[in-house]
Structure 1
């Protein structure tokens, strides 16, 4: 039976970690929709047209997650995500995933507002700009990326601006989304709170 958890929020707020934990806890399939846009962005860096890249996307394009999380790919992903035709090309893929039997958790920027407005649970994961920048900086340094925290903060601010101001599917919390601010929460506390919210809907 289909059951969709739509998880949105800005970069480095914790939505990916929470979504993966929810999928594991409830036995649902998980889709990081940001990887779709990163894969398209990676193809454009190789010279392919963004819309063609979106239309030709296959699961194998998302296998190398480390490469897709490189800073230059993230910037390209944010740029292609602002294109209406790119988003349109990826909508059907995401909606089909969301309604699969056995349940699904999707995380991204427009899941609760555009992709799955009828999702059984909508979460909006957020955190302060400073905490998000620190988290992403530590994550990137742990992977050996030479970058300063100031550069990370600037990059996140630019992505937020693009995501929130784009004409097509801007980043915004759905009216009926449950907002979870992870600024002062540990990973365990944030996951526990999200699990509690989903379980409450399942038990209703």
Structure 2
């Protein structure tokens, strides 16, 4: 049975990562958190005080400390820069608020997209991000674009932050998510948009289980057809 490539795109806090991880586990697929890769590059930029004019230095650090993913004993995915565990550090608010400009740098995108494509070559992979279906995996057999209201996405992010011990203000989160949407959809390089052949699914008011069921049923049909 052929293993397919699944691309899940959408704006910030639309449930992409949560859903992708569950489906990957259910189908026995590899899950690649592309957002964590861009967050890692952002973490490097902020840690060293680099700006958009110092792309070469960010790439140099990425070469010295390559991004890798490991599984914790409880099955959770850990993100490393070299030997440094940055799993929690890349989810802090300063990284969240700066990832848009770093991910918009053409040189950064080119490097990370090439890494992502190499990993996906064999199939049996599910990726989530903002340009997976349009740029990274335009040949993916199944493309999903998740959307949800700003209010609901802010509520999800607020709950996630509480669980991780990250302080946040609900109204501020709403403003930040709306601003992130604008930046992501208006950037010159790989703007946020649904692929022409993507299935657009509004998750507002729908449980994680409901979203997983919808996508997994589509994936299983694709596998049967492959």
4+ aligned runs moved over 6 Å, structure 1: none
Partner deviation per Cα, 1:18-45 (whole Å, 9 max, x = no partner): 1111111111111110001100000001
On the 8 A contact 1:8/1:15 being kept in 2, the answer is: yes
- Give, in angstroms, the shift of residue 202 of structure 1: 1.1
Q: Tell me how far apart the structure 2 counterparts of residues 50 and 150 of structure 1 sit (CA, whole Å).
A: 33
- Give, in angstroms, the shift of residue 105 of structure 1: 0.5
Residue correspondence of structure 1 range 18-37 to structure 2 within 5 A:
18-37=19-38
Residue correspondence of structure 1 range 19-98 to structure 2 within 5 A:
19-47=20-48, 48=50, 49-54=54-59, 55-56=62-63, 57-59=66-68, 60-61=80-81, 63-98=85-120
Q: Tell me how far apart the structure 2 counterparts of residues 27 and 202 of structure 1 sit (CA, whole Å).
A: 13
**Count of equivalent residues:** 203
Shifted more, 49-58 versus 79-88: the winner is 49-58
Shifted more, 194-203 versus 30-39: the winner is 194-203
Q: Tell me how far apart the structure 2 counterparts of residues 117 and 197 of structure 1 sit (CA, whole Å).
A: 18
Partner residue, 1:99: 121
Q: Tell me how far apart the structure 1 counterparts of residues 57 and 182 of structure 2 sit (CA, whole Å).
A: 25
1:107 match: secondary structure: strand
Q: Root-mean-square deviation (CA), in Å?
A: 1.6
Partner deviation per Cα, 1:83-131 (whole Å, 9 max, x = no partner): 1111111111011111135x11111010000011011111111111111
Q: Tell me how far apart the structure 1 counterparts of residues 212 and 184 of structure 2 sit (CA, whole Å).
A: 25
Q: Tell me how far apart the structure 1 counterparts of residues 194 and 157 of structure 2 sit (CA, whole Å).
A: 22
Partner residue, 1:198: 219
Q: Tell me how far apart the structure 2 counterparts of residues 51 and 187 of structure 1 sit (CA, whole Å).
A: 40
On the 8 A contact 1:121/1:177 being kept in 2, the answer is: yes
**Shift in CA distance, 160/58, structure 1 to aligned 2, threshold 3 Å:** same
On the 8 A contact 1:82/1:162 being kept in 2, the answer is: no
Matched, 1:180 2:185: no
Q: Select 2:168's aligned residue among 147, 168, 184.
A: 147
Higher strand share: 2
